[in-house]
Structure 1
Amino acid sequence: MPTDPRTDAYIEKQADFAKPILRHIRARMHAALPEVVETVKWSRPFFDYKGHPLAIMSGFKAHASFGFWRRDALRTGQEGEAMGQFGRLTSVADLPDDAELDEMIRAAAALVDAGEGAIKRKAKPAKAEPGVPPELAEALAGDAAATATFDGFPPSCRREYCEWIGEAKRPETKARRVAEAIGMLREGKRRHWKYEP
Structure 2
Amino acid sequence: MESKVTAYIAKQTNWKKELEKLRSILLDLPLVETVKWGAPYYTDKGKNIVGMAAFKHHFGLWFTQGALLQDKHGKLMNAQEGKTNALRQWRCVSMDDIDEELIRVYVLEAIDNQRNGKAIKPQRKPLVIPDLLQNALDSNSELKEKYENFSLSHKREYADYISEAKREATKLSRLEKIVPMILESVGLHDKYRNC
Same fold (TM over 0.5): yes
Count of aligned pairs? 132
* Partner residue in 2 for 1:19: 16
- Trace 1:10-49 onto structure 2 (pairs within 5 A): 10-15=8-13, 17-31=14-28, 33-34=29-30, 36-49=31-44
What is the alpha-carbon distance in structure 2 between the residues aligned to residue 82 and residue 24 of structure 1?
Answer: 23
Residue segments in structure 1 that go unaligned for 5+ positions in a row: 127-162, 169-176, 178-190
RMSD of aligned Cα (Å): 3.4
* Partner residue in 2 for 1:121: 122
* Partner residue in 2 for 1:92: 95
Identity of aligned residues (%): 28
Contact preservation (8 Å) 1:80, 1:86: yes
Q: Secondary structure of 1:85's match?
A: strand
- Inter-CA distance 104–124: structure 2 relative to 1 (3 Å threshold): same
Q: CA deviation at 1:37?
A: 1.2
- Inter-CA distance 81–71: structure 2 relative to 1 (3 Å threshold): closer
- Trace 1:118-197 onto structure 2 (pairs within 5 A): 119-122=120-123, 167=138
What is the alpha-carbon distance in structure 2 between the residues aligned to residue 81 and residue 18 of structure 1?
Answer: 22
TM-score by length of 2: 0.55
Contact preservation (8 Å) 2:27, 2:33: no
Contact preservation (8 Å) 1:86, 1:95: no
Q: Which among 51, 54, 57 is matched to residue 49 of structure 2?
A: 54
Contact preservation (8 Å) 1:37, 1:48: yes
TM-score by length of 1: 0.55
Task: Answer with 1 or 2: which has the greater Rg.
Answer: 1
- Please give the per-residue CA displacement for 1:82-110, whole angstroms capped at 9, x wherever unaligned: 686333x23221122x2221111110100
- Inter-CA distance 79–5: structure 2 relative to 1 (3 Å threshold): same
What is the alpha-carbon distance in structure 2 between the residues aligned to residue 195 and residue 44 of structure 1?
Answer: 29
